[in-house]
Structure 1
Amino acid sequence: MDSLLKKKVWRLLLCVGLLMIMEDPRGASAAWLNAHATFYGGDDSSGTMGGACGYGILYTDGYGIKTAALSMALFNDGKSCGGCYEIVCDAAQVPQWCLKSTSITITATNFCPPNYDLPSNNGGWCNPPRPHFDMSQPAFETIAKYRAGIVPILYRRARCERDEGIRFTINGRDYFELVLISSVAGAGEIWSVWIKGSKANQWEAMSRNWGSNWQSLTYFNGQSLSFRVQASDGQIVTALDLVPSTWQFGQSFKSSVQF
């Protein structure tokens, strides 16, 4: 009987676990990982604008104040730009600094550079191989007290939620289109991008220039443009004839497609 009872208990626990995995749309089955968090940018987040991912004004690019700069261990040479992470202060370690059990989902919009003049456990927080989040100050203050300065955290990957479609901003010059792609939902991270002019029959693969900026060396002036974007989870969306033939460098175009 004891053996039969144990089997029933294990089956019950397995069913509960499966239900928990299936019912959480953000992928709560992902393991929580340890890291630390600091903050920057001021209480209005003005100091977080721009940065190593190439985003401009984070409000108009769809990211707002819930952002963070990633250490070298997480930034992945810019491939992590746009990815989202759920973060909670580790109250088991510093209950005096954590704010309840509040979590926040942030977007990676910048790079936290290493400081090899300082030790990793005393100032060189973003030195490899440490995973570290330098959060915007308002984001940090949703999980921990300002006076803490730095706190241990738990983090995991999360789905990105956006209020609008993917945005394409075209910079550069003739024969050099530098396209900033922002406001990306789902996985958030961009894996591949293709562009097609109205005079072309095939899609042309673009290459990552830096951060979320992708480039083409084709002369597209006077053509309407379409874009195809593949996220890091493999999903693909296509914005057909998004950009009219009268486009100019410096313009931004908001699509109706989203992950």
Structure 2
Amino acid sequence: MCSNGWIRAHATYYGVNDSPASLGGACGYDNPYHAGFGAHTAALSGELFRSGESCGGCYQVRCDFPADPKWCLRGAAVTVTATNFCPSNNNNGWCNLPRHHFDMSSPAFFRIARRGNEGIVPVFYRRVGCKRRGGVRFTMRGQGNFNMVMISNVGGGGSVRSVAVRGSKGKTWLQMTRNWGANWQSSGDLRGQRLSFKVTLTDSKTQTFLNVVPSSWWFGQTFSSRGRQFV
């Protein structure tokens, strides 16, 4: 780690075929554009991904120009959102534990590195706040008594640590568990009820979104907090 808070890592990129459906990956966002993240996304090595806890978090990444002046752009930096997991492998093992690695979308990668580079560059990174447009989004998934919500477009700390849900017919908050990535699950039939969510981020900030989902909701629909957002 550098004295100013930057941490050493390495970065590669997905390749030229960055279809939106391929970038949501292990966080379950399906389409990062629809989730509010745009084109600047990255898959994180296991050391950074932390079993999905980093999903939605923002990282500022800059190329280490003194270490690689041939391929790094001097003074360039880009902010990426964590949307996927870079698994361990036997091909140089850049994503193997305990390495810090970003496998970035090509639009993000070429903000800091020269085109023509098909390899890997040394970088520095630091965690930064996420700037989002509009409110936090809640996408209802599951079926019957199995409720799952995918939470996206989260500002501020960006990554979610815990979620609780409360139906309009009850008074008790039900703690949800992480199913995978940005998807949180609970049991019990909540259909036909207005739903409120209490969301805590990994930076410990909590917000309560009362009746953000109307009683007419159904699986597959997405609802927004209409401007209520983490900062």
Structural mapping, 1:104-253, within 5 Å: 104-115=78-89, 117-118=90-91, 123-148=92-117, 149-253=119-223
Contact 1:193-1:228 within 8 A present in 2 as well: yes
Q: What is the distance in 2 between the residues matched to 1:68 and 1:49?
A: 8
Q: What is the distance in 1 between the residues matched to 2:96 and 2:16?
A: 22
Moved segments of 4+, more than 4 Å: none
Extract unaligned runs of 5+ from structure 1: 1-28
Contact 2:86-2:95 within 8 A present in 1 as well: yes
Which one has a larger percent helix, Structure 1 or Structure 2? Answer: 1
Contact 1:87-1:106 within 8 A present in 2 as well: yes
Deviations 1:1-43 (A, max 9, x none): xxxxxxxxxxxxxxxxxxxxxxxxxxxx851110000000526
Q: What is the distance in 2 between the residues matched to 1:203 and 1:30?
A: 41
Contact 1:45-1:136 within 8 A present in 2 as well: no
Q: What is the distance in 1 between the residues matched to 2:208 and 2:202?
A: 15
The TM-score with structure 1 as length reference comes to 0.84
Distance 1:94 1:47, change over 3 A: farther
Give the CA deviation at 1:147. Answer: 2.3
Contact 1:70-1:108 within 8 A present in 2 as well: yes
Identity %: 53
Q: What is the distance in 1 between the residues matched to 2:156 and 2:36?
A: 13
Aligned residues: 226
Distance 1:55 1:231, change over 3 A: same
Distance 1:46 1:195, change over 3 A: closer
Extract unaligned runs of 5+ from structure 2: none
Give the CA deviation at 1:55. Answer: 0.4
Give the CA deviation at 1:45. Answer: 4.6
Q: What is the distance in 1 between the residues matched to 2:112 and 2:44?
A: 17
Contact 1:30-1:157 within 8 A present in 2 as well: no
Which one has a larger percent strand, Structure 1 or Structure 2? Answer: 2
Distance 1:206 1:30, change over 3 A: farther
* RMSD (Å), alpha carbons: 1.4
Q: What is the distance in 2 between the residues matched to 1:55 and 1:205?
A: 22
Q: What is the distance in 1 between the residues matched to 2:4 and 2:180?
A: 29
